[in-house]
Structure 1
Amino acid sequence: MKVAAGYTGLQKVLHWAVVGMIALNYTLFEEIGRAFRGVVRDGVYDYNWVVIGHIAMGAGVLVFALWRMALKVRLGAPAAPENEPELFKKLAVVGHLALYAIMILMPVSGMVAWFTASGSIGEVHEIMKPILIALVVIHVGAVAAHKLVWKTDVPKRMF
């Protein structure tokens, strides 16, 4: 992958937009589960503001994650700081791959579950919720470690 001097303004906007959309789906649009159980039980789709919002935010996460990946491939990413321990450099790569994977798999599984009324795929989607939360907590923790332990500029890269 190319090494870039920093992230572009567009990359930063897409990063924070995804953060916002994920937060909205975990808070404002969390009640989609009730509507989904109704679809599975009765086959009736209730397109209320919660359902439309949840689907829209999930689709946005998917599109923006794919866009971010394309930009990262085309433009590259900043190199890991020199004083970051080698193990953490490797874990950072794994962590970012896991975040991108879940930002793709979660919306896809949600859409497939909703539009096919598949309870089993809905369960897979539901299982991914705590995994995403754990990955975000680890990601934020790593940013804090960069700032507080290794004293690097990594937190400034996305601001």
Structure 2
Amino acid sequence: MLVSTRTEYSKAQIILHWLVAILILAAWLTGDNMGRVLRARFDSGTTGFEGSTPHVWLGCAVFVLILIRLVLRRVQGAPGALPGSTEMMEKAAHWGHRVIYLLMIAVPALGALAWFGGVRAAGEAHETASNALLLVALGHAVLAIWHHAIRKDGALNRMRLSQKG
């Protein structure tokens, strides 16, 4: 991915970041009992968007917004390393973001494969991957707060909507 000399993300990138974060949390919170709903769907032979739940709609929205985020990141790049970052920290951040993006793509794709494609195994993989995504995102948030509060390197300032520019 392109890394620019900018110190902050664009407003569009920031809005998408927070919107996707909220939608992922909402999708996770509305995922309770989806296994039962999916089994009933398989048994009834329902297809397409018929019988879709808020969880399904949230997942579809996340998938579309993640694709937009990827295009935007490819076009606009991302800020360079934080001040005082070591090479190890930069590599960890790089790979951490790759894992988050991979999970943000895989989770809704697996859910869609289960819901729209009728693939039972994809539903189980979707549940496992969604829990992994939530844990990785939580780690991401904890590290961002650690960078901001302990290292005082302005990590969170790069994702604030009230920034200049």
SS in 2 for 1:116: coil
1:37 counterpart letter in structure 2: R
Please report the RMSD computed on the Cα atoms of aligned residues, expressed in angstroms. 1.8
State whether residues 146 and 153 of structure 1, in contact with CA within 8 Å, keep that contact through their aligned partners in structure 2: yes
Q: Counterpart in 1 of 2:93?
A: 92
Q: Deviations over 1:23-64 (max 9, x none)?
A: 11111353322210212344346955xx33112111111111
State whether residues 35 and 123 of structure 2, in contact with CA within 8 Å, keep that contact through their aligned partners in structure 1: no
Which moved further from structure 2: 4-13 or 97-106?
4-13
Query: If the length of structure 2 is used for normalisation, what is the TM-score?
Result: 0.86
Map 1:64-75 to 2 at 5 A. Answer: 64-75=65-76
State whether residues 20 and 66 of structure 2, in contact with CA within 8 Å, keep that contact through their aligned partners in structure 1: yes
What fraction of aligned residue pairs are identical, expressed as a percent? Answer: 29
Name the CA distance, whole Å, in 1 between partners of 2:75 and 2:107: 24
Which moved further from structure 2: 102-111 or 144-153?
144-153
- Looking at both structures, which has the greater relative contact order when contacts are Cα pairs under 8 Å and sequence separation is at least 6? 2
Gaps of 5+ in 2: 161-165
State whether residues 109 and 122 of structure 1, in contact with CA within 8 Å, keep that contact through their aligned partners in structure 2: yes
Name the CA distance, whole Å, in 1 between partners of 2:3 and 2:110: 31
SS in 2 for 1:78: coil
2:14 counterpart letter in structure 1: K
Cα distance change of structure 1 residues 58 and 30 upon mapping to structure 2, 3 Å threshold: same
Query: If the length of structure 1 is used for normalisation, what is the TM-score?
Result: 0.89
* Structure 1 residue 133 corresponds to structure 2 residue 134: yes
1:18 counterpart letter in structure 2: V
Q: Counterpart in 2 of 1:78?
A: 79
Q: Counterpart in 1 of 2:151?
A: 150
Name the CA distance, whole Å, in 2 between partners of 1:59 and 1:25: 10
Among 27, 30, 37, the alignment partner of 2:29 is 27
2:95 counterpart letter in structure 1: V
Name the CA distance, whole Å, in 2 between partners of 1:146 and 1:67: 27
State whether residues 30 and 54 of structure 1, in contact with CA within 8 Å, keep that contact through their aligned partners in structure 2: no
